[in-house]
Amino acid sequence: MIKPLEPHDQHHLLAAQGWIELGNQQEADLELEQITPELHEHPGILEVRWQIYAKAKKWDAALEIASALVQLAPGHSLGWLHRSYCLHELKQTLEARENLLRVVDQFPEDPIMRYNLACYECQLGRLEQAKVWLEKACKLGGRKQFKLMALQDQDLEPLWKEIRQAQAENAIRKQ
């Protein structure tokens, strides 16, 4: 069981999250350093630490944090998603894909996991499988939202023409 943070530590964690939202990783890091050292392995703290490294594009360090999150909280999808994202950024997209395929069925309601699988499949040249995963993400998370997100995601660029065409056809049918 994960021990809840004391108010003092919770305050610093919330402040760190605020600094992340403001785009200031240095201040976020300073806030995390104020947290009781024994709690530095707390999943909430690791999540913010991951965000710091990811925003700084320090993918090796972010991967270590994500792997720790998976170990501490394997029943939460965030660690798995972060780990795959780091692997993808480290040009290990096949490994990123396989990391998620091992656990995707454990998270039947997670549209982001399916969306990321669509991205990885697309980057691996598996366009038909990418479309299947994107469709699953759309069904779970909202078709319009995910299609718009896909049209801005470079990883899914090979599908842009097809997505736009499907949107146009859908708009015509609604008229």
pLDDT number for residue 7: 86
Q: Which two tokens stand for residue 79?
A: 């660690």
How much is the average pLDDT of 58-75? 95
Residues 76-81, mean pLDDT to the nearest whole number: 96
Residue 1 pLDDT exceeds 70: no
**Domain 1-91 classification at class level:** mainly alpha
Which whole number is the average pLDDT over 45-58? 93
- Residue 51 CB: number of other CB atoms within 10 A? 20
Give pLDDT, residue 141: 92
48 pLDDT higher than 70: yes
Burial 69-79 (b: 16+ CB within 10 A, else e): bbeebeeebbb
Q: The whole model's pTM is what? A: 0.87
Backbone CA torsion sign across 78, 82, 84, 85: positive
Question: What is the arithmetic mean of pLDDT over 17-32?
Answer: 90
What is the percent of the chain where pLDDT is above 90?
67
Q: Where in the chain is the domain with CATH 1.25.40?
A: 1-91
Q: Of 10-14, 70-74, 112-116, 138-142, which gets the smallest average pLDDT?
A: 10-14
User: Using 50, 70 and 90 to split pLDDT, how confident is the model at 173?
Assistant: confident
Structure tokens at 64: 């270590």
Inter-residue contact 55 to 70 (CB < 8 Å): no
